[in-house]
Amino acid sequence: MRMRGIKVTAVVLGLAAGAPLTRISGQPAFPFQNPDLPLQERVEDLVSRMTLEEKASQMQDWARAIPRLGIPEYGWWNECLHGVARAGTATVFPQAIGLAATFDTDLMLQVAAAISDEARAKHHEFVRNGKRKRYQGLTYWSPNVNIFRDPRWGRGQETYGEDPYLAARMGVAFVRGLQGDDPEYLKLVATPKHYAVHSGPEPERHRFDAAADRRDLYETYLPAFKAAVTEAGAGSVMGAYNRTNGEACCAHRQLLGEILRGEWGFKGYVVSDCGAIEDIWRGHRLARTEAEASALAVKTGCDLDCGREYRSLTEAVKTGLITEAEIDAAVKRLFEARFRLGLFDPPERVAWARIPFEKNDCPEHRALALEAARRSMVLLKNTDGFLPLPRNLKAILVTGPNADEASVMFGNYNGTPSSSVTPLAGIRSAASPGTAVMFAPGCDWTREDPAAAAAAVDSARKADAVVFVGGISPRLEGEEMRVDAPGFLGGDRTDIRLPAVQTGLLQALHGTGKPVVLVLLTGSAIAVPWEHDHLRAILAAWYPGQAGGTALADVLFGDFNPAGRLPVTFYRSNDQLPPFEDYRMEGRTYRYFTGEPLYPFGFGLSYTTFEYAGLEVPKTAVPAGRSAVITVTVRNTGEIPGDEVVQLYLKDIEASTPRPIRSLKGFRRVHLNPGESKTVSFTITPEDLSLIDASGAWTVEPGVFEAAVGPSSADLRLKAAFTIAG
């Protein structure tokens, strides 16, 4: 049979293997099978033909096949936080927090496009082999745009840091890269999560109520979600486990109804976090039964259950808890997504379906993973220009618990690379032929080993320099996990200091008189005050992905000039933190913290130097509701090429309500050769100047604002005031 000159087969239509294909006189059996009809007409036709039981079966993360309608089974659950995960070999990029440290939205777009290439290639290969299970579909539960408000949260590694503007810009780039730019078909469906006020504690998430006032909600917790939905057009959103202000996030009238679908005009579908519908009645006790919880969630806007609780929706209809029409609205949104992905259309019509399987783990993507890892490295200390290491060293000791642990480099929600390079392997490969590279682990992440420590110290005495690769591990911080180690609880941290066993070994290594470089593999801020005061150099490498060892060696030996910036504040100790369970932003992050951090948000050193000049702000008052342009010129005053991350911060001088100390409102990563200058321009929108006033409404107040630019939130080289007119 042919339709519009295209041969139609079960695979072409996306049917399950062996499913019947019903045709009448060479034409589609049902209108929804006709790709030339309008999308909404196809959706309406399909849903009208389904029974209540069939509809409920499509609202769970594994949707059953409906053979009589030619509908194949479908697995909604897929992961691609920093590479396609849990679906075989794939390119593994730096963990999300490391991607945020690049401060590079163009790079983020490239990374997300590469990830979606691999996701599409994998999906079509699975279908060709009759596979349609979990981790084989096209709807992906990424990115995580929650605000990393407290360094103790174990899942902060999955986010883009503590700042709502940075999280929004990175999130928008990632969503666009996943979903593609085709006017008719989505490449993938992106799912910003976990909507909306969610950042620990992990052990309490199934029953915890994260309380946030309107100002913190709108000015901190929501902006990244809003940008992902309204600017990038995210096709779905995932709700969080916890409650917010008394209501479960996956059944929240304000979050899902008033804000997401009302204020933002969201037309896509909402999915629960996995097991969160069960939490509504078992954990939060907001419903008495599974059916009651399911009905509540659907009625308030949660269309898809990651779990099996929505099987009870048939009972809920029969007992009057929900109407079939309310279920229809959710099912239509789900099938609209599947139609927009081209899952019911001939692949010849869907450009994304022609991505070859060879795109998976291809040389271009491996090169991009290396470049992303290089750009994510943040140089925190470099006494007297000790780095880069000279090439003529006779011996280097590489030590520390993360020096030769490949799995640590991948972070959580990771894929499986075809190959990877550990820090030890990278250093060995990059060192000069005449340099001996010794290795001694020295210690575990948190446990002492006196014999191993003694061996490391003995080797250090024979070395010209020591590279200690320590930090923590995704085995210690992450999502609701069992951890039996001092300073860690349930995936979170109870102490943000470097584990004591590592500091103790570093002190012994320092005592040999040999220069020590500390490399931190981590998904969050680590307090290293002693290390800062005594060691020659410190580098934050995050969880850098499959090419992390090569990227690290490139930075250590000067083949790449580091320019990553901190997407989070590095505090000195727990003493500087408010209670973990307190979701008020007062005293948190660089925007509200009044103390002296160890390393400030936006901080990062370079092997060259930069000069700022010529800051220009509007000379006349800007009418409220209009945008403003701010420019500054940056020059490389050093002797080698390098990147500078130019950062613009605003401060509201005359606000009528409490305001942040300052807020990031623009950043640009620019490459400059020695002596080269570039003028960087930022456009400030009315939204950038808005606040929640005393009545709870968004407004742009007339008054004076201060614009400040520099290489970090604490190193603002130039400042100038401008006025917003009433």
Question: Is 319 in the same domain as 380?
Answer: no
Which CATH number do you get for residue 705?
2.60.40.10
Question: Is 616 in the same domain as 581?
Answer: no
Kindly state the tokens that stand for 463.
Answer: 């070395």
Is residue 157 domain-resident? no
Of 24-33, 384-393, 503-512, the one with minimum mean pLDDT is: 24-33
Question: Is 642 in the same domain as 711?
Answer: yes
Question: Is 329 in the same domain as 379?
Answer: no
Closest CA to 535 of 452, 437, 460: 460
Strands 247-248 and 378-382: unpaired
E strands, 57-197, where?
A: 62-63, 74-75
Rg, the chain, Cα only: 27
Q: How far apart are CA 112 and CA 116, in angstroms?
A: 6
Question: Is 587 in the same domain as 636?
Answer: no
Spacing of C-alpha 362 from chain mean position: 23
Q: Are 524 and 488 in contact (CB under 8 A)?
A: no
State the burial class of residue 132 (Cβ atoms within 10 Å of its Cβ: 0-12, 13-18, 19+).
Answer: buried
Q: How far apart are CA 290 and CA 293, in angstroms?
A: 5
The total number of structural domains that make up the chain: 3
Question: Is 286 in the same domain as 407?
Answer: no
Domain of 237, in residue numbers = 39-62+190-340
The DSSP output letter for 523 is: S
The answer to whether 181 is a known catalytic residue is: no
Closest CA to 158 of 105, 116, 97: 97
- pLDDT for residue 27 is more than 90: no
Is residue 422 domain-resident? yes
Fill in the amino acid letter for 611: E
Q: How far apart are CA 115 and CA 81, in angstroms?
A: 9
Give the per-residue pLDDT at 169. 98
Q: Which of 61, 405, 477, 531 is catalytic?
A: 477
Kindly state the tokens that stand for 304.
Answer: 């898809």
Fill in the amino acid letter for 115: I
Question: Is 567 in the same domain as 426?
Answer: yes
Q: Are 524 and 156 in contact (CB under 8 A)?
A: yes
- pLDDT for residue 408 is more than 60: yes
Q: What percent of the chain has pLDDT over 90?
A: 95
State the burial class of residue 586 (Cβ atoms within 10 Å of its Cβ: 0-12, 13-18, 19+).
Answer: exposed
For residue 28, give every residue at least 6 positions away whose Cβ sits within 8 Å of its Cβ, in sequence order, or none: 3, 34
Is residue 94 domain-resident? no
The CB-side HSE value for 322 (13 A sphere, CA atoms) comes to 26
- What pLDDT band is residue 52 in, cutting at 50, 70 and 90? very high
- pLDDT for residue 456 is more than 90: yes
Q: How far apart are CA 651 and CA 709, in angstroms?
A: 11
Mean pLDDT calculated for residue range 466-474: 98
Question: Is 394 in the same domain as 532?
Answer: yes
Distances (CA, A) of 665 to 322, 504, 591, 668: 44, 41, 12, 11
Q: What percent of the chain has pLDDT over 70?
A: 96
Give the per-residue pLDDT at 26. 54
- What pLDDT band is residue 255 in, cutting at 50, 70 and 90? very high
- pLDDT for residue 19 is more than 60: no
Question: Is 707 in the same domain as 574?
Answer: no
Q: How far apart are CA 428 and CA 47, in angstroms?
A: 60
Which CATH number do you get for residue 240?
3.20.20.300
Q: How far apart are CA 236 and CA 192, in angstroms?
A: 7
Helix axes 105-128 and 363-376, enclosed angle (nearest 10): 150
Mean pLDDT calculated for residue range 222-236: 98
Strands 2-3 and 6-7: antiparallel
The DSSP output letter for 72 is: P
Give the per-residue pLDDT at 28. 82
Max CA separation in the chain (angstroms): 87
Kindly state the tokens that stand for 53.
Answer: 């039981």
Give the per-residue pLDDT at 22. 43
Closest CA to 350 of 466, 182, 574, 572: 182
Q: How far apart are CA 51 and CA 57, in angstroms?
A: 10
What is the sign of the dihedral through the CA atoms of 15, 19, 24 and 26?
A: positive
The answer to whether 495 is a known catalytic residue is: no
Q: Are 517 and 357 in contact (CB under 8 A)?
A: no
- pLDDT for residue 3 is more than 60: no
For residue 328, give every residue at least 6 positions away whose Cβ sits within 8 Å of its Cβ, in sequence order, or none: 47, 55
Instruction: Count CB neighbours of 47 within 10 A.
Output: 21
Is residue 143 domain-resident? no
Give the per-residue pLDDT at 82. 98
Closest CA to 36 of 353, 349, 351: 349
Question: Is 541 in the same domain as 414?
Answer: yes
**pLDDT digits over 308-366, tens only?**
999 999 999 999 999 999 999 999 999 999 999 999 999 999 999 999 999 999 999 99
Is residue 93 domain-resident? no
Which CATH number do you get for residue 470?
3.40.50.1700
Which residues share a beta bridge with 85? 79
Helix axes 39-48 and 324-340, enclosed angle (nearest 10): 130
- Domain boundary at 340, 361, 381, which? 340
Give the per-residue pLDDT at 484. 82
The CB-side HSE value for 23 (13 A sphere, CA atoms) comes to 13
Continuous H helices in 467-586: 500-510, 529-534, 548-556
Phi, psi of 349 (to 5 degrees): -90, -15
For residue 548, give every residue at least 6 positions away whose Cβ sits within 8 Å of its Cβ, in sequence order, or none: 94, 373, 409, 420, 421, 422, 423, 426, 521, 541
Q: Which of 273, 279, 531, 643 is catalytic?
A: 273
Mean pLDDT calculated for residue range 396-415: 97
Mean pLDDT calculated for residue range 93-99: 99
CA angle, corner 15, sides to 14 and 20, nearest 5?
A: 150
Question: Is 430 in the same domain as 567?
Answer: yes
- Domain boundary at 592, 627, 659, which? 592
Q: Are 519 and 423 in contact (CB under 8 A)?
A: yes
Is residue 169 domain-resident? no
Is residue 645 domain-resident? yes
Question: Is 379 in the same domain as 467?
Answer: yes
The DSSP output letter for 474 is: T
- What pLDDT band is residue 726 in, cutting at 50, 70 and 90? confident
Give the per-residue pLDDT at 527. 98
Strands 698-699 and 691-692: antiparallel
Is residue 603 domain-resident? no
Looking at every residue in the chain, the average pLDDT score rounds to: 95
